[in-house]
Structure 1
Amino acid sequence: MTDPVKGNISQPQPVVAANSAKAWLLAARPKTLTGAAVPVMIGIAFALRLGGWDSFRLLPAVLCFLFAFIMQIDANFINDYFDCLRGNDDAATRLGPKRACSEGWITLPAMRAGIVVTTALACLTGLPLIVYGGWEMIVVGLVCVAFCFLYTTRLSYLGLGDLLVLVFFGIVPVCLTCYVVLPEGAERIDWHVFSVSVWCGLVIDTLLVVNNYRDRENDRRDGKMTLVVRIGEKYAERLYLGLGLAAVLGVQLTVWDGNRQWTDFVAFFLPDVYLFLHVLTYQQMIRIRKGRELNKILGQTARNMFVFGIVTTLGLLMAS
């Protein structure tokens, strides 16, 4: 089969029975779950750093992971459903991975039911967190659900997606995870936690940037004014590189307080592992520039995000 975008022979598409377990797995987009895991990992690392292992509370940590994972899947279902309704997933022009509703793997009524179920599961999973964080957790949960819908249906078309990533994949999950995992009476979140939550959000935004970079021509055609569409190709490339550079420098300055133990030096340089991978991915990105081949840059960026989460978590635990 000839690829209509690149003109070469495309890979055969998977045979997926309608509404099957395989169809739901593909719709859940498991590779995107790294974006949900990383901020929770970092929030837990900060809780351990501030409160110590003896006072670590396992249950709220597990609940934060589950809530983040389910909300990510919910967001993927919502994106799949509404993009299909808008006709944004046209098979002839789509550059990204195939979408379940547009391919007929999941019917629209089934996807509506799936969205209801995952939204309810996320709320039920997050509800016990009021024991650890107070009734304010209900408000936070409702805001997360609301913006999960608003992102796909409205805000992504206004170029606000990157801001939402910063807030809901950086500041909110890192700070709140740290807050609910810390025991009562322990030192609460400080500027260090907030600072790293911002850097975490910037790293996760690289995934959205490369996704929108790949889709920039289709988005412009569909009236989806993402940040990449607004600033153009060259500035989008610089933004991708700059987000990773800023995040690494920010984490290094936040984690290292001038101590001279060997563990502090290791913690300082650990983020450079991520930076090395990020720069390599950037170089491939600007070489490819357009087409379906950018999907491998998407996969590498997801891998780099996870590496950032690991090295930042280790650095937080090692530093004095």
Structure 2
Amino acid sequence: MATAGQWMEGARLRTLPMAIAPVIIGTAAAYDLDAFRPGGAILAALVALLLQIGVNYANDYSDGIRGTDNVRVGPLRLVGSGAATPRQVKYAAFIAFALAMLAGIGVVLLSGAWWLLLVGAGCVLAAWGYTGGKKPYGYLGLGDVFVFVFFGLVATLGTTYTQAGRLSAPAVIGAVGTGLIAVALLMANNVRDIPTDSAVGKRTLAVRLGDRNARRSYVLMLAVALLLVLPLAGQKPWILLVLLLIPAAVKPSLLMLRGTMRHSLIPVLKQTGLLNLGYSVLFAVGLVLSNGV
């Protein structure tokens, strides 16, 4: 039986900034539209965090039963290491998804947008289908699309819409920016796993691009995410605070480009997660300060 510490490690806490970042940006965009709702923001954050944990456990379960995680470089995997049984990890994923859906119902009740129930159901199905089922799309190189759409566009724009009832240019740009950084984090993870993924037929986008191009794509995604704020600077001058993150983006970028040993890429995951969190905070602060100008 896995210990509490192992369950926490299996939840992959380093990926949680990827879940909370779009909620911060979406809430700031709602504030910019004079429609900030604290209750909706808290529930949206719970949905995002629980979905991310559910995805992580589901990925652990599905990769574990396929043998993908039997030999790997990186943090503990519950099934692959034998710390927990596949059934236990699968149930943990289902519990996280169920709690996310309950929080999602709360968001729907507050916003009155009942059609969002379909979006929520789609999120759960997409989360499970990432590595689960007979034809997991994560094994076909489509996992990056899922992350961009659901942990970028849907999470950010959904947060803004449920509070403000409409969207804005800052909401869209913030959604694209945080989505790209989230995909960059996944790319860093998958570059590290190229040898083992290739051996078991897991054709992630990193595998398809090849080691060199996959590493370059990571740097490109970070650069585009940071520079996306420039079109907003005319009306929202404080949004340029985001550019303060450029030095913080250099270190993981250099590690991605120069790190020859697979284990040397492990710190990139934490650095990219913190970068996404910093991006969301500075983006939000920029919107709030610009709103008062």
Determine which of 53, 59, 64 is the counterpart of 1:84.
Answer: 64
Alignment check: 8 A CA contact 1:78 1:152 kept: yes
Q: Find the counterpart in structure 2 of residue 75 from structure 1.
A: 55
Q: Find the counterpart in structure 2 of residue 94 from structure 1.
A: 72
Deviation per CA, 1:140-160, whole angstroms, max 9, x where unpaired?
Answer: 110000000111121111111
Partners in 1 of 2:269 and 2:177 — Cα distance?
Answer: 19
Q: Find the counterpart in structure 1 of residue 225 from structure 2.
A: 247
Partners in 2 of 1:113 and 1:287 — Cα distance?
Answer: 40
Alignment check: 8 A CA contact 1:81 1:111 kept: yes
- Identity across matched positions, percent: 34
Determine which of 85, 92, 96 is the counterpart of 1:118.
Answer: 96
Q: Find the counterpart in structure 1 of residue 181 from structure 2.
A: 203
Determine which of 44, 58, 68 is the counterpart of 2:27.
Answer: 44
Determine which of 208, 232, 245 is the counterpart of 2:210.
Answer: 232
Q: Find the counterpart in structure 1 of residue 161 from structure 2.
A: 179
Is residue 134 of structure 1 aligned with residue 80 of structure 2?
A: no
Q: Find the counterpart in structure 1 of residue 194 from structure 2.
A: 216
Partners in 2 of 1:32 and 1:244 — Cα distance?
Answer: 16
Alignment check: 8 A CA contact 1:19 1:110 kept: no
Q: Find the counterpart in structure 2 of residue 14 from structure 1.
A: none
Alignment check: 8 A CA contact 1:45 1:316 kept: yes
Partners in 2 of 1:231 and 1:56 — Cα distance?
Answer: 41
Deviation at 1:212, TM superposition (A): 0.9
Deviates most, 170-179 or 244-253: 244-253
Q: Find the counterpart in structure 2 of residue 13 from structure 1.
A: none
Aligned-partner residue type, residue 274 of structure 1: L
- SS of 1:319's equivalent? helix
Q: Find the counterpart in structure 1 of residue 145 from structure 2.
A: 163
- SS of 1:152's equivalent? coil
Deviation at 1:128, TM superposition (A): 1.7
Q: Find the counterpart in structure 1 of residue 270 from structure 2.
A: 299
Aligned-partner residue type, residue 117 of structure 2: I
Partners in 1 of 2:55 and 2:279 — Cα distance?
Answer: 23
Partners in 1 of 2:125 and 2:82 — Cα distance?
Answer: 27
Deviation at 1:133, TM superposition (A): 4.2
Unmatched 5+ stretches in structure 2: none
Deviation at 1:171, TM superposition (A): 0.6
Determine which of 273, 297, 311 is the counterpart of 2:244.
Answer: 273
Change (3 A) 1:48 1:197: same
Partners in 1 of 2:173 and 2:238 — Cα distance?
Answer: 20
- SS of 2:261's equivalent? coil
Q: Find the counterpart in structure 1 of residue 16 from structure 2.
A: 33
Q: Find the counterpart in structure 2 of residue 313 from structure 1.
A: 284
**Number of residue pairs matched?**
287
Deviates most, 32-41 or 191-200: 191-200
Change (3 A) 1:20 1:237: closer
Is residue 150 of structure 1 aligned with residue 129 of structure 2?
A: yes
Partners in 2 of 1:19 and 1:83 — Cα distance?
Answer: 18
Deviation per CA, 1:92-112, whole angstroms, max 9, x where unpaired?
Answer: x30121201222222222223
Aligned-partner residue type, residue 150 of structure 1: G
Partners in 2 of 1:19 and 1:274 — Cα distance?
Answer: 38
Deviation at 1:311, TM superposition (A): 1.3
Aligned-partner residue type, residue 246 of structure 2: L
Aligned-partner residue type, residue 21 of structure 1: A
Partners in 2 of 1:85 and 1:214 — Cα distance?
Answer: 20
Deviation at 1:194, TM superposition (A): 1.9
Deviation per CA, 1:253-272, whole angstroms, max 9, x where unpaired?
Answer: 1x31x25xxxx54432x122
Alignment check: 8 A CA contact 1:133 1:179 kept: no
Query: When the two structures are superposed, what TM-score results if normalisation uses the length of structure 1?
Result: 0.85
Deviation per CA, 1:62-82, whole angstroms, max 9, x where unpaired?
Answer: 100001111111111101111
Query: When the two structures are superposed, what TM-score results if normalisation uses the length of structure 2?
Result: 0.93
Deviation per CA, 1:87-139, whole angstroms, max 9, x where unpaired?
Answer: 0111xx30121201222222222223222222211111111222204111110
Deviation per CA, 1:222-270, whole angstroms, max 9, x where unpaired?
Answer: 11111111111221122111101111111221x31x25xxxx54432x1
Structure 2 counterparts to residues 2-41 of structure 1, below 5 A? 18-41=1-24
